[in-house]
Chain A
Amino acid sequence: MIVELGHAALWLAAAFALLQALAPWLRAPADDAERWTGLAVPAALAQALLVSLAFGSLVWAFATSDFSVKLVAENSHTMKPMLYKLSGVWGNHEGSMLLWILVMAVAGAAVSLADSPLGDRFRALVLSMQGIIALGFYAFLLAASNPFARLAIAPTQGNGLNPLLQDPGLAFHPPMLYAGYVGLSVAFAFAVAALLERRVGPAWAAAVRPWVLAAWAALGCGITLGSWWAYYELGWGGYWFWDPVENASLMPWLAATALLHSVAVLAKRDALRNWTILLAVVGFSLSMIGTFVVRSGLLTSVHAFAVDPARGAFLLVLLALYIGGALLLYALRASTVAVGEGFAPVSREGALVANNLLLAAGLGVVFVGSGYPLLVDVLGVGPISVGPPYFNATFGPLMIPLVLLMAVGPFLTWGAARTDKLARKLAVPGLLAVALALYAFAVWDVRAAFSLIGFALSAWLGVATLAILWGRMPWRTPRATWGMALAHLGVAFTLFGITASGALTRELLVNLRLGESAEVAGYTMKLVDVAPVAGANWTALEATLDVSRGGQPLTVLHPQARLYTSPMMDTTEAAIHTRINGDLYAVLGKPDGSGRWQLHVWWKPFVIWIWAGGLIMALGGALSMTARASARRSAAQPVGALVAA
């Protein structure tokens, strides 16, 4: 019954989405348009409430293991821990689409409840765009992938959830990612509304900025969680494989990064109007591609759930309609957008244009690299693989000038910047950058040029960013400056983590008998025991590894080789000892048949910095997002001056 109520709520929500989509366009003769337009806000709120009910009823079905619901029977199991019963709601195709709609409706409610500096009519247009986008998803959900479908005969037990997905990191990865994708839908709706109303300008930029920042921060969090999950769960200690599905989430993030910087230029200098609009359109288009291409099964990957081709076709048509429609509108209206002001090359906006150029080129590279194998396959000229070597050789070099500029940009003023004091300000970061590279060369024995550049750049960016805050009163520094500095600092952390773990990882691969030890990077591992253990829905062989350093016992690691029972699947549970200067990462392999156990242990220096940096970036974004409100309070601080990021 509850499930049927949820299904009904979803239909009703779709009706409200339709009303929301039509509200600003409805106008009976001799009627006043205001009344219809005013319906958009209550419609959006009602839609959000109803989708929440629908989602809640599906959560209920999973929580109570109601196997008469097809989706629950296919994806859940009574023995699963409650957290994974709940995350199982979106750990499948139908549920993840419902989650998307939920997040979208919540975003619509947020737009309805937040201030609307551009007026009620503009807000109604934004909500209308959101309604139109949501309608496509409703159609897809209700017609082609109903999450509430019942089974004629309920099985007594469910099929379970892929054990790799039974993990706290991954439980929250999709909601964060979707929050980011959907946040970009707000930017998209703002862009389309601005094109329709011909209101592209600084006021528009200031109004859209918090939404872009929110989306950017959520996406960053989602990607960080996903990467961290891959690191500890997939069992080989890799955190980014340039997998098409990973790239699908990276691309919207890159677009959002470019967008929030170009929004700053638009807000302050009234320039880059068309480009900013295009980025907003592209950012959400990539979000949709990210979701749909993954869901449509076009890309095979560990992350993709299998779906049937008819659904894939539905999604691709939807995608073509939205993106095509938006680009068409852009093509028609872009030439009518009044052009903005001109630029001096050495200025804050000059640096931001370079930022956009490099980010867009990087985005293009990721797009081409992810799509090319598909293209080559379709053309029938033999399958090729595009993996880390390609991206390291192309994306990597594009990021070098980007990081170089990131350190300099914040020191430049808007308009023609004075450069006389620049050298003095950047002397210390420059010196420390060279010092760290030399240290890596001499002490850590790093010889690869790319790694040395990575070390130098992380110090350069980190120190230069700290220098922005140096000598300022923390409480008198604008929140947006704090946000920008944190975000840039996060990049320095991540870059350092990537470089150090890439260049300095030590690996140990041995077969040990009980009682034997081996050493990696100064840590001695002694295999004390291998014993069977059992969990709620798995059994495992668990090794006990005594770790010591210089004779001092340090920790005990328990890597496991797990066998999940529902569904049957082998996984390895790495044991990780995290320190600020690196992780010990141990994996238990197979017995070699002569009483020895295979052990794979890595020392991965500074690897935690990668994700710490990701979270710091997101935190910076969140902090910046709140800056607008505080800006309004202090009239002395014009909004434009705050968009330092």
Chain B
Amino acid sequence: MRALFLALLLLFAAPLAADPTMPPAALADTPLPDAAQEAKAQALMHELRCLVCQNQSIADSHADMAGDMRALVRSKIAAGESPDEVRAWLIKRYGDWVSFNPPTHGAALGLWLAPLLFLGVGLLLALRLFRRRGSETKA
């Protein structure tokens, strides 16, 4: 397992310089034999950004680096890591940018509070509308 891990680190040492004439990494486009693990890996791959593409997930990208990242995700999932662990590992390495699921802390918190805010303010305005029934209305 350790050897596999090291091999992968090596593979990742120069992902941008990936030689396009090389065949893609073995797990880049080969599903895992365990269907449940593959499903988990697939779901995660759809939530990870291809770092060299314009707004594509690694599941959707034909870029070589996306293939390398798919291989990484599959091998880590196969090694028994949970999708959250893999995601955390990638975020540690590449920053929050890599995950399409924004963090729920720090500056991104406003993002998650926004829907509640909109709904709350909207509800207040709407209630005022109904309370004023019969008199005057202003939205």
Q: A360-B122, A385-B49, A507-B42 are in contact. Are A368 and B23 (CB under 8 A)?
A: no
The listed residue (B24, B96, B101, B137) touching A390 by CB distance below 8 A is: B101
Contacts of A385 in B (CB 8 A): 49, 96-100, 102
Contact status A381-B106, CB under 8 Å: yes
Contact status A343-B130, CB under 8 Å: yes
The listed residue (B30, B42, B107, B134) touching A381 by CB distance below 8 A is: B107
Contacts of A235 in B (CB 8 A): 62
Interface check A350, CB cutoff 8 A: yes
Interface check A590, CB cutoff 8 A: yes
Q: A388-B47, A390-B111, A398-B119 are in contact. Are A339 and B60 (CB under 8 A)?
A: no
Interface check A208, CB cutoff 8 A: no
Interface check A361, CB cutoff 8 A: yes
Cα of A212 to Cα of B6 in the assembled complex, Å: 60
Q: Mark B96-124, 1 if CB is under 8 A from A, else 0.
A: 11111111001110111011001100110
Q: Mark B61-101, 1 if CB is under 8 A from A, else 0.
A: 01000000000000000000000000000000001111111
Q: A343-B133, A364-B114, A364-B115 are in contact. Are A273 and B139 (CB under 8 A)?
A: yes
Contact status B122-A389, CB under 8 Å: no
Interface size for chain B: under 10, 10 to 19, 20 to 34, or 35 or more residues? 35 or more
Contacts of A570 in B (CB 8 A): 62
Contacts of A241 in B (CB 8 A): 55-57, 60
Cα of A66 to Cα of B26 in the assembled complex, Å: 49
Interface centre among B23, B42, B123 (most CB of A within 10 A): B23
Contacts of B24 in A (CB 8 A): 590, 592
Contacts of B54 in A (CB 8 A): 300-302
Docked complex: A544-601 residues within 8 A CB-CB of B:
570, 572, 589-590, 592-593, 598, 600
Contact status A389-B136, CB under 8 Å: no
Interface check B2, CB cutoff 8 A: no
Contact status A364-B118, CB under 8 Å: yes
Contact status B135-A342, CB under 8 Å: yes
Cα of A273 to Cα of B103 in the assembled complex, Å: 39
Distance in Å: Cβ of A6 to nearest Cβ of chain B: 33
Contacts of A271 in B (CB 8 A): 129, 137, 139
Contact status A361-B119, CB under 8 Å: yes
Interface centre among A385, A507, A598 (most CB of B within 10 A): A385
Contacts of A275 in B (CB 8 A): 139
The listed residue (B100, B133, B136) touching A344 by CB distance below 8 A is: B133
Contacts of A243 in B (CB 8 A): 55
Interface check A81, CB cutoff 8 A: no
Contact status B111-A386, CB under 8 Å: yes
The listed residue (B47, B56, B130, B138) touching A345 by CB distance below 8 A is: B130
Contact status A511-B55, CB under 8 Å: no
- Once A and B bind, how many residue pairs between them come within 8 Å at the CB atom? 142
Interface check A204, CB cutoff 8 A: no
Cα of A342 to Cα of B137 in the assembled complex, Å: 5
Contact status B114-A302, CB under 8 Å: no
Specify the chain B residue showing the minimal Cβ separation from A237.
B60
The listed residue (A238, A301, A357, A372) touching B126 by CB distance below 8 A is: A357
Q: Mark A253-292, 1 if CB is under 8 A from B, else 0.
A: 0000000000000000001111100000000000000000
Q: Mark A213-244, 1 if CB is under 8 A from B, else 0.
A: 00000000000000000000011101001011
Specify the chain B residue showing the minimal Cβ separation from A391.
B100
Specify the chain B residue showing the minimal Cβ separation from A241.
B55
Q: Mark B35-57, 1 if CB is under 8 A from A, else 0.
A: 00000001000110100001111
Q: A365-B115, A388-B46 are in contact. Are A509 and B29 (CB under 8 A)?
A: yes
Cα of A511 to Cα of B59 in the assembled complex, Å: 17
Interface check A353, CB cutoff 8 A: yes
Distance in Å: Cβ of B114 to nearest Cβ of chain A: 4
Contact status A387-B49, CB under 8 Å: yes
Contact status B126-A342, CB under 8 Å: no
Specify the chain A residue showing the minimal Cβ separation from B60.
A236
Contact status B139-A361, CB under 8 Å: no
Contact status A300-B123, CB under 8 Å: no
Contact status B57-A387, CB under 8 Å: yes
The listed residue (B30, B46, B47, B133) touching A511 by CB distance below 8 A is: B30
Contact status A592-B23, CB under 8 Å: yes
Cα of A291 to Cα of B119 in the assembled complex, Å: 27
Specify the chain A residue showing the minimal Cβ separation from B132.
A342
Cα of A383 to Cα of B98 in the assembled complex, Å: 9
Q: Mark A residues whose CB is within 8 Å of B.
A: 234-236, 238, 241, 243-244, 271-275, 300-302, 339-345, 350, 353-354, 357, 360-361, 364-365, 368-369, 372, 376, 379, 381-390, 394, 398, 507, 509, 511, 570, 572, 589-590, 592-593, 598, 600
Chosen A-B contacts, 29 in total, with CB atoms closer than 8 Å, are A243-B55, A244-B55, A271-B137, A271-B139, A339-B137, A339-B138, A342-B133, A342-B135, A343-B129, A343-B130, A345-B130, A353-B129, A357-B119, A357-B122, A357-B123, A357-B125, A364-B115, A368-B111, A372-B108, A382-B96, A383-B96, A384-B108, A385-B96, A385-B98, A385-B99, A507-B42, A511-B29, A511-B30, A592-B23
Instruction: List 11 extra interface pairs beyond A365-B114, A372-B111, A385-B49, CB under 8 A.
Output: A300-B54, A343-B133, A353-B126, A372-B110, A383-B95, A384-B102, A385-B102, A390-B100, A590-B23, A593-B23, A598-B29
The 4 closest A-B pairs by CB, nearest first: A387-B100, A275-B139, A342-B133, A389-B101
